[in-house]
Structure 1
Amino acid sequence: MSDLAKIAEIVDEGARTASAIKQFSTEKPLSIDEAYAVQALSMQRRYARGEKRVGIKMGFTSRAKMIQMGVHDLIWGRLTNTMRVEDGGIISLANYIHPRVEPEIAFLLKTDLSGDVTPAEALAAVEAIAPAMEIIDSRYDNFKFDLGDVVADNSSSSGFVLGNWFPKETDFRNLGIVMTVNGHAAEVGSTAAILGDPIRSLVSAARVVASAGEKLYAGDIVLAGSATAAIALAPGQSIETQFQSLGSVGFKVGA
C-alpha cells in the first residue's frame, strides 16, 4: 500500500467511524496535489461501499478565509448521496466529531460543465437554485488543520440540506440571510459574500474539477460555499436559515 493510500485509509476510517485523527501536517505536510490524490483515494473507498457521488462543494469562497489559510484559490470536495439530510430532518451527533453548519446557495445542473467557462456559460448549465446549508466536520483533532490536511479530508464535507428549488432566473446575487438557532439569530449575511456573486463559485468549480481530470455532470449539485461564518452544533438545537426570496431550510440536532 502506498503512503497516500494509507493516508486515505486513515482519513476514510476517521469519517466512517466519527473518530478524530491526528493532523498529517505535524509530521510531513501534504502538497496540494498529494492532498487531492488522498481525497480521491478516500472517496473511492466510499464508492466501493455503495455511496454515489452526487456533486461537489466549494470551500474558501471568502477572501478573508483565503488570506487566513494563506491560499490563493478555492478548494473543493465531493458530495455523496449518504451526506444528504432531508429538509426538516434530524441528524445524530453520533455520526460526527465536531460538526458545524453554514448557509450556502446550491446549484442543480442540467448539462455537463467543465473547464474554463464564463459566468454566462455557467448559468446556462444551471437547471435551478436552492437555499442550502452544509454540515462541515473536520476529522482532525480540535478542528485544526493546514491546507493539505483539509483537502485530504474531503474539504471537511460531511452533510448538506437543500430547500426548495427555484428557477435559475431568480436573482441570487445579493440575498439577505439569517441563520437561527432555536429561533434566535446566530449569523446574518448575504449571498454576495460568496465571491461577490455565487455564480463565480460555479465558474471556479468547472475549472478546478477539470484540473483533476473530471467534470460536473448534468444532475450534479454544486454547493457554492459559505455565506457566513459556521456555527457549532449541539444536541437539542433547531437550525433554520431564512433566505430572502428563497424561503427557508432547516434541520434538528439529536443526540
Structure 2
Amino acid sequence: MSVDVEALAATLDGAAREAAAIAPLTAAEPFDLATAYAVQRALVGRRTRRGERLAGVKMGFTSRAKMAQMGVDDVIWGLLTDAMAAEGSVDVSGLIHPRIEPEIAYLIGREVRSVSEVEAAVTGVAVGYEVLDSRYRDFKFTLPDVIADNASAARFGVGPWHAPRDVSNVGLLMEIDGRTAQTGSSAAILGDPARSLRAAARLALGAGIVLEPGWVVLAGAATAAVPLPKDAHVRVTGAGLGSVEVTT
C-alpha cells in the first residue's frame, strides 16, 4: 500500500493534542490491519519521543458481541503510556468525547518473553477503569481506523493491587455521582480476563514488544462504556478488589 504511515500518525496525534475530531482516516484512503498497527506504533512513537514512557497494554473488543458487531474474530490492542495514567482526576476539557468503562487490571512483575509465562509473571490484580476518547467524529470508525487510533486509549486508573487470584467472575459496579451507571461481571471479558491477558502477551510479542516489570495490562471492558461528563465523580468497585475513584 502507498499509505503514508507517519502522516496518518501525525494527523491522529494532532487531533488528540488539539482535542479536535477528524474524519476516519480510511474515508480518504482505505488500509489494512497491518498498516493500521504500523500507524499505531508511529503514533505512540511520537508520544515517547516527547518523553512519555510505555506503561502497559490495553485490550479491546474483548466481548464476543463486540467482535461480532465489528466482524472480527480476534481482540485488538493498544499501548499505554505513563502520561495516560490518571492520578485520581481527568481533565475532560482536553478530550473530545470521553467515555469510561470498568476494567480488570493486571500488574506485570517480570519480563514476559512467552505467552506461557505471562500468568506466572503477574504480581497483582486490581479493579480499574479506562477512559476512551476516539479521535474520530461522532465516535464512528472502521476496524483499521480504531486500531490506528491506538484503540481509542486516553486515560486509565487502577485501584489497590491485590495478590494474584481468580478474577474470572468478579462483580463490577460503576457509579457516577452516586448513581449506578453500569453493572456487570468480569466474565464478560472473553469469559475470563486471563484469556485477555494471554492475548495481550501473544499480540505484544508478535509485534516485538516484551511486557516489562511494572507494566499494566487492562484486560478489557466488563460493560459498555458510558459518556464521562465534566464535574463528575466516578467510582468503580469490584467484589473482593475494593474500588477506584476518579473526578473530572
Q: TM-score range by the shorter chain?
A: over 0.9
Runs of 5+ consecutive residues of structure 2 not aligned to the other structure: none
Q: Any residues of structure 2 matched to 1:81-230 within 5 Å, and which?
A: 81-86=82-87, 89-117=88-116, 121-168=117-164, 170-230=165-225
Counterpart amino acid of residue 198 in structure 2: V
CA contact (8 A) 1:23 1:149 kept: yes
Shift in Å, 1:25? 1.8
Shift in Å, 1:27? 2.3
Partner SS, residue 126 of structure 2? strand
Structure 1 window deviating more from structure 2 (197-206 vs 26-35): it is 26-35
> Is the alpha carbon distance of 1:73 and 1:115 closer, same or farther for their aligned partners in structure 2, counting shifts above 3 Å?
farther
Distance 2:130 2:188 in 1: 16
Counterpart amino acid of residue 154 in structure 2: S
Q: Deviations over 1:89-121 (max 9, x none)?
A: 22212210000000001111112224442xxx3
Shift in Å, 1:219? 1.6
Distance 1:47 1:91 in 2: 21
Q: Post-superposition, which runs of at least 4 consecutive aligned residues in structure 1 deviate over 2 A?
A: 114-117
CA contact (8 A) 1:61 1:195 kept: yes
Q: Deviations over 1:165-207 (max 9, x none)?
A: 0000x33110111111111111110011111111111100111
Counterpart amino acid of residue 21 in structure 1: I
Distance 2:23 2:114 in 1: 35
If the length of structure 2 is used for normalisation, what is the TM-score? 0.96
Q: Deviations over 1:116-145 (max 9, x none)?
A: 42xxx3321101111100000000000000
CA-based RMSD of the aligned residues comes to: 1.3
CA contact (8 A) 1:122 1:199 kept: no
Distance 1:142 1:96 in 2: 13
Identical positions, percent: 46
If the length of structure 1 is used for normalisation, what is the TM-score? 0.94
Q: Deviations over 1:189-239 (max 9, x none)?
A: 001111111111110011101221222112211100000010101112211
Partner SS, residue 221 of structure 2? coil
> Is the alpha carbon distance of 1:110 and 1:90 closer, same or farther for their aligned partners in structure 2, counting shifts above 3 Å?
closer
- Number of residue pairs matched by the alignment: 247
Partner SS, residue 225 of structure 1? strand
Distance 2:83 2:231 in 1: 22
> Is the alpha carbon distance of 1:90 and 1:220 closer, same or farther for their aligned partners in structure 2, counting shifts above 3 Å?
closer
Structure 1 window deviating more from structure 2 (206-215 vs 223-232): it is 206-215
Runs of 5+ consecutive residues of structure 1 not aligned to the other structure: none
